[in-house]
Amino acid sequence: MAFCTKCGAQLADGSTFCTFCGSPQTSAQSAQVNPYSVGANYSGGYSGGYVDPNAPIIPGFSEAVSICFRKYASFQGRASRSEYWYWTLFTFLLNFVIGILLGLVAATTYSSEASQDAQAPLMMLAQGVRLISTLVLFLPTVSVFVRRLHDTNHSGWLWWLPFITGVGGALLSGLIAGATPSPESRTIVLSIFVVAMIVVCLYMLILMVRRGDDGPNKYGPAPVRR
């Protein structure tokens, strides 16, 4: 019994190419048993699965958050849409709660009659909590974003695209605006920068909501059973 090394479909022994996805096979490769195969149901396209047998069908909120913490700084492999968006929801809720607490601390501190010297440690503690939460969540947020890109068969280096567009565009716009004293020219330059940022953000959003590849791609097996 042989399996395709790309899509996991079952092949006849000695096959030199996959009859489902068309990828070339060698006898040494195709003879290996596919440990992740959950079957191939070919009807104009490969619709079988090739996944980690321990992968959830669709991770729930708590499971997705747990996966992201377990893969804290893992930029290898793939992440499903549910994993990415549940993590995004988790970070939003956490930052929202921290923001409310900081607001309460600030309101209590500045409304009290205590001296500024007495207020300073409390405000420093509150700001420290915000800083720590930001640092703790940064790596898993970037890593799940990269793995989500991998799930759609895109390079994780695309993570830099919004940053380069934002920072590079802002610097370039500033230089051009400084060289053009005309208010109309500055408005045009700023409009181009804003449009470019909107286009990049929409492109990244489309990738984040896009369904991942069925079966394996060059970044690994599918993260969930599809």
Residue 67 has pLDDT above 60, yes or no: yes
Delimit the domains of the chain by residue range. Answer: 1-55, 61-152, 158-208
pLDDT at res. 139: 95
In this prediction, residue 191 carries a pLDDT of 82
More confident residue, 180 or 96: 96
Give the closest residue to 196 by CA, choosing from 159, 157, 162, 160: 162
Task: Please say if the pLDDT value at position 50 is more than 80.
Answer: no
* pLDDT for res 78: 92
pLDDT at position 187: 78
Give the residue, 151 or 16, on which the prediction is more confident.
151
Confidence of residue 200 (pLDDT cuts 50, 70, 90): very high
Residue 182 corresponds to which tokens in the numbers above? 């005309």
Average pLDDT, the chain: 76
Burial of 88 (0-12, 13-18, 19+ CB in 10 A): middle
